[in-house]
Amino acid sequence: MASIRDYNTTADSNTDIAPEGMAPSAVNNAIRAVQGELAKYLKDDGGSLSAGGSSNAYTITLSTAPTSLVDGLNFSFTANHTNTGAATLVTTPAGGGAFASKSIRRFVNNAEVALAPGDIVSGGRYSVQYEAAANGGSGAYILLNPSGTGSTLFGAEGGTEPAVTAGGIGSAAAGLQVSFTATAPNLVLNAGCHYEKTSGASETEVYSFIRLIATTGGTTVAQSQVQYSRLDTRVARGIGNANMGLVVTGLSVGTQYTVRLYFYQSNGSTAVAPRGQWVTGQNIG
């Protein structure tokens, strides 16, 4: 019996389950067979498959039984490990022998490329589609929903509103912080807040910056340029805004890092509070 993967879009060409002139007593079995094939396809497409393999070499056993790798062969699966670079996939049809190993590729700005570290993350659910012309004609599985480039890794807001004291970077007070696990080597951080001068009549400049820290060991990995906002003496409860950005490269996929916002000011006699702090992290490959 043909697999649902091998059904023909021309109805009259599908004769193996329900041939012309079949006995009435066989109709019920034919309908049940089609229902079984549909159920198998839904398992392949619904994310119930679990990947095997290791070290960027993934394996999948399908519920359906296609006879060959053809354009459009698609399925979804839960990954069993995070990729650290270019990856391959071996697919085995139900009850059959394994197809040849093929690269897993993705599209970035309409260009087909190899996977970047963290495009597949352990425990994540992914969809792939086979394309015979991909990878220079060698055939490849196209990853339709990579976790890497362009994906938002985290976002947070709120956090501690520290006492913003006078001094320099060395005396800066820590505000909002968030920890995350790197899923790609390159990351862009954006953060901001607005300031409120809660007391004091003096003009002051408030400075802020982002610092990326290795969660284990506490060493500084990268730090943004210092941004400043001037709070005017003419406004009793003066306000200001800060927007910070930082591009980080060379992160270790799978390692935990912590982002912290820091603040200090130029005039210790003015009380300043950083309100509405926020920070986001987005993978860039």
Three-state SS for 174? strand
**Residue 261 predicted with pLDDT over 90:** yes
Number of CB atoms found within 10 A of residue 160's CB: 13
pLDDT of residue 150: 58
Q: Which of 40-44, 201-205, 272-276 has the lowest mean pLDDT?
A: 201-205
**Per-residue pLDDT averaged across 69-79, rounded?**
93
Rounded Cα–Cα distance for residues 124 and 143 (Å): 13
Domain boundaries, the chain: 1-147, 152-283
Q: Considering only CA atoms, give the Rg of the chain.
A: 28
Q: Which of 88, 78, 81, 83 is nearest to 44 (CA)?
A: 78
The answer to whether the CB of 45 falls within 8 A of the CB of 78 is: no
Token output for 187: 């990351």
What is the bridge-based pairing of β-strands 173-181 and 187-199?
A: unpaired
In sequence order, the 6+-apart residues with CB closer than 8 A to the CB of 2 are 14, 16, 17
Which percentage of the chain shows pLDDT scores above 90?
A: 37
Residue 259: predicted pLDDT: 95
| Fold of domain 152-283 | Jelly Rolls (2.60.120)
Which amino acid belongs to residue 198?
T
Q: Which residues pair with 262 in a beta bridge?
A: 174, 209
Three-state DSSP class for residue 52: strand
Contact 177, 210 (CB under 8 A): no
Return the pLDDT at 200: 65
Q: What is the pLDDT of residue 179?
A: 93
Mean pLDDT of 29-35: 78
Q: How far apart are CA 128 and CA 43, in angstroms?
A: 14
Question: Do 72 and 85 meet the contact criterion of CB atoms below 8 Å apart?
Answer: no
- The pLDDT tens digits for 82-132 are 988 899 999 999 999 999 999 999 987 677 888 887 889 899 999 999 999
Residue 233 clears pLDDT 60, i.e. is over it: no
**Average pLDDT, rounded, for the chain:** 85
Task: Output phi, psi for 277, to 5 deg.
Answer: -65, 145
Question: How many Å apart are CA 213 and CA 154, to the nearest integer?
Answer: 16
**For residue range 93-104, what is the model confidence (pLDDT) as tens digits?**
999 999 999 999
The 8-class DSSP code of residue 4 comes to G
What integer pLDDT is reported at residue 164 of this predicted model? 86
Q: Averaged over 204-216, what is the pLDDT?
A: 90
Q: Is the model more confident about 75 or about 27?
A: 75
DSSP-assigned beta bridge partners for residue 49: 77
pLDDT of 171 reads 86
- Mean pLDDT, range 259-270, rounded to an integer: 85
13 pLDDT band, cuts 50/70/90, is: confident
17-21, 128-132, 142-146: which has the minimum mean pLDDT? 17-21
Query: Looking at the predicted structure, is the pLDDT value of residue 184 above 80?
Result: no
Q: Is residue 231 a contact partner of residue 270, using CB atoms and an 8 Å limit?
A: yes
pLDDT recorded at residue 40? 82
212 and 223 Cβ atoms separated by less than 8 Å: yes
First and final CA of the chain: distance in angstroms? 45
pTM: 0.53
What are 155-179's pLDDT values in tens digits?
Answer: 888 888 888 888 888 889 999 999 9
